Structure 1
């Protein structure tokens, strides 16, 4: 069973010749995650990044920050959808 990820559609759509989306680029979900990423990078101690190791040697810090950024992006999209529904 697969779950479709709601990505919010294109972040910066442009109209094509037939008024359809042309060159949609990244999704709104990707845009939100990219905006949230600095927060999660800042939460990881500098020495962990400098040594290229995971926190406690067990977790890949970059993967952890990326997953957290996408969780934040998903929360932002859910809040946006709830606000539009009311």
Structure 2
């Protein structure tokens, strides 16, 4: 099983008092999560389409599908970033 490319940290932190990067667990979301959040924001901001999807699938399934789609978009963005 290959490791998922997460693009690294979206906003790498730096400890200016100690002049060194923050520990990895203190640096916040990955670039993949950031891209997915931006994609998700766009997906759910289409009220008519989301309402139709919720009516069709139910809210829990509709938002799960939207979340999966956001990560598909994020992964495509990471691949495009790597290719450029």
Normalising by the smaller structure, the TM-score range is 0.7 to 0.9
Instruction: Point out the structure with the larger helix share.
Output: 2
- Matched-pair contact (CA < 8 Å) for 1:13–1:24: yes
Tell me which moved more, 18-27 or 29-38.
Answer: 18-27
Runs of 5+ in structure 2 lacking a partner?
Answer: none
Mapped partners of 1:71, 1:27: distance in 2: 15
- Matched-pair contact (CA < 8 Å) for 1:44–1:61: no
Query: With structure 1 as the length reference, what TM-score do the two structures score?
Result: 0.72
Question: How well do the aligned residues superpose, as a CA RMSD in angstroms?
Answer: 2.4
Query: With structure 2 as the length reference, what TM-score do the two structures score?
Result: 0.74
Compared CA separation, residues 18 and 73, structure 1 to 2 (3 A): same
Residue 50 (structure 2) aligned to one of 39, 45, 52: 45
What does residue 36 of structure 1 align with? 39
